[in-house]
Amino acid sequence: MGALVEGYGVKWGGTMHAIADPDEAWWIEICGKQWVAQRVGDGRATMRANSYRIGRIDFTDTGHVRYMWSPGVKSFARKRGWWRPAQGPFNWRRAYHWRGEMEWAADNTVRHRMVARYLKRLMARDGKVTRTGLMKILRSHYEGTRWYNHRLRPYTVCNRYNIASSVSELRGDLPAGIGGVLWTCFAEPCSNGFFPIYQGVTALPAEWTYGAYRWAPGSAYWACRSLSHWVGKAFGPRHRDIARRSRPFARAEFEQAYLSDGDPIEQARRAIARSFMGFGSDSLFQVSGFRANSNRSGTTPAHDWAHYPDVLPAMVERLRGVVIENRPASEVIRQHDSTTTLHYVDPPYVAQTRSYLRQAKYAYRFEMTDDDHRELASVLREAHGMVVISGYPCDLYDNELYPDWQRVERPAFADGARRRTEVLWLSPGASRRLSGTMLFPLPATMAVAGQEEE
């Protein structure tokens, strides 16, 4: 690479490339026919944001363990008046910075700061930089920060001027033909997917090989560019819709969903993935098995996941006008209680009825002890409105807390398709209001009791 630069040079200042194999990685920064290169340390991650980052060079590193450079890098800078020995040790970035770097300084400074932060999070969380982690960075509009935008400056990592983005994956444990993969995305990666180009391929589909400079029908690049343009006209809702539909039903996606993320929207999406892809409601807070079964009759979990975005509008519509509280249940019940209020209460089921609690310290973030259930029962018994409470059959509810309430059983399936019995306990007020319906017919003894109370 250095010999090519010294022989032919490059036209533009600020040119830089990353060069790597499965064992090591280098950054090379070029100006004309001069260049310097710096090795990325083992276990380290680094980035460049359209500006030189290599500063002082250890010219005593003649074995090129950490640095490489062109023979005339210092003499050329001295000849042009960019550096003098009296100024101190040679600094590549100060001597060779290009005029355009100053014009883009604000954008590049924010890019460098944000991507460095993302890389630090990846390293702290995973101990390495992953392919999917890098793709997420390339799709970033600085969501959740004061710099978040789509069209305004400072330009984000992903922006409307993106021509192509790529992630190189080098796997030394596989044959060379398939060990190296260049994951490539045309136009804005937030709207488009990455496709793999394996190291051993000798030809690409025709659609990927034309249309670079002007629109051409059938060109893969212009198909991606057109999609990005369409998304940009209503970026918020259209971008979210694409993001929802592009998530695969994959074990890796399920496992990643248990990792924390600083973006609250992404954290909410991961909660949905844990709930949908795992077994049972306890998968929200502790790792459960991945629902990979595809041998059942009807649809598979993967098919259901593919249709999940289509039902989201119905969920949103249903919740319009609904008040969502985040307070102790007893406070909400007392505030909204009246003779016409129906309280449906679905607390964490009594601990003795849940077998998996024997192996785990908790299933929900907020659990209830038997005394908590007793406190809830006292509030429900004082309520003027109608009450329906659900749970598994247990002595605490049947014999101590709600022995005189109507009890309705229904067969159900719990985690792992285990047969369970679900129970509803209906307060006397709720039973009387339902006495004329066929929803939950009253036993004869309770019907007589209800008539006598009238």
What's the mean pLDDT in 409-413?
Answer: 85
Buried (b) or exposed (e) across 246-265, using 16+ Cβ within 10 A? ebebeeebbebbbeebeeee
**Cα–Cα distance, 118 to 166 (Å, whole number):** 17
22 band by pLDDT with thresholds 50, 70 and 90? confident
d(CA 206, CA 78) in angstroms, rounded, equals 49
Kind of pairing between the strands at 342-345 and 386-391: parallel
The rounded distance, in Å, linking the Cα atoms of 40 and 37 is 10
The average pLDDT across 154-171 equals 87
pLDDT band at 61 (very low <50, low <70, confident <90, very high): very high
What average pLDDT does the chain have?
83
CATH number of this structure's domain 329-453: 3.40.50
Calculate mean pLDDT across residues 330-336: 95
The enclosing H or E element of 388 equals strand 386-391
Q: At what angle do helices 220-232 and 235-245 cross, to 10 degrees?
A: 130
pLDDT at res. 415: 58
**pLDDT beyond 70 at 286:** no
Among 206, 169, 200, 202, residue whose Cα is nearest residue 184 = 169
What are 276's two structure tokens?
Answer: 């949908």
Own/partner pairs, 404-409, CB within 8 angstroms, 24+ separation: 404/428, 405/431, 406/430, 406/431, 406/440, 406/442, 406/443, 406/446, 408/440
Tens digit of pLDDT for each residue in 216-255? 888 999 999 999 888 888 887 887 777 766 677 778 788 8
Q: State the Cα torsion 134-136-141-147 to the nearest 10°.
A: -70
CA distances 327 to 210, 330, 333, Å, are: 59, 8, 10
Q: How far apart are CA 212 and CA 164, in angstroms?
A: 11
Crossing angle (nearest 10°) for helices 105-126 and 131-138: 150
Rounded mean pLDDT of 202-210?
Answer: 88
Question: Is the pLDDT reported for residue 379 higher than 90?
Answer: yes
Average pLDDT, integer, range 200-204: 89
Strands of the sheet with 164-170, listed across from one edge: 164-170, 180-186, 195-198
Query: What residues does each domain of the chain span?
Result: 1-103, 247-319, 329-453
Q: Are 427 and 387 in contact (CB under 8 A)?
A: yes
What tokens were used for 314? 């119905």
Res 444: pLDDT = 46
For residue 100, CA distances in Å to 56, 112, 164 come to 21, 16, 21
The CA distance from 93 to 44, in Å, is: 21
- Residue 179: left if φ>0, alpha if ψ -120 to 50, beta else—which one? alpha
Pairwise CA distance, residues 389 & 336, whole Å: 17
- Assess contact for 385 and 345: CB atoms under 8 A: no
Q: State pLDDT tens for residues 23-39.
A: 899 999 999 999 999 99
pLDDT band at 114 (very low <50, low <70, confident <90, very high): confident
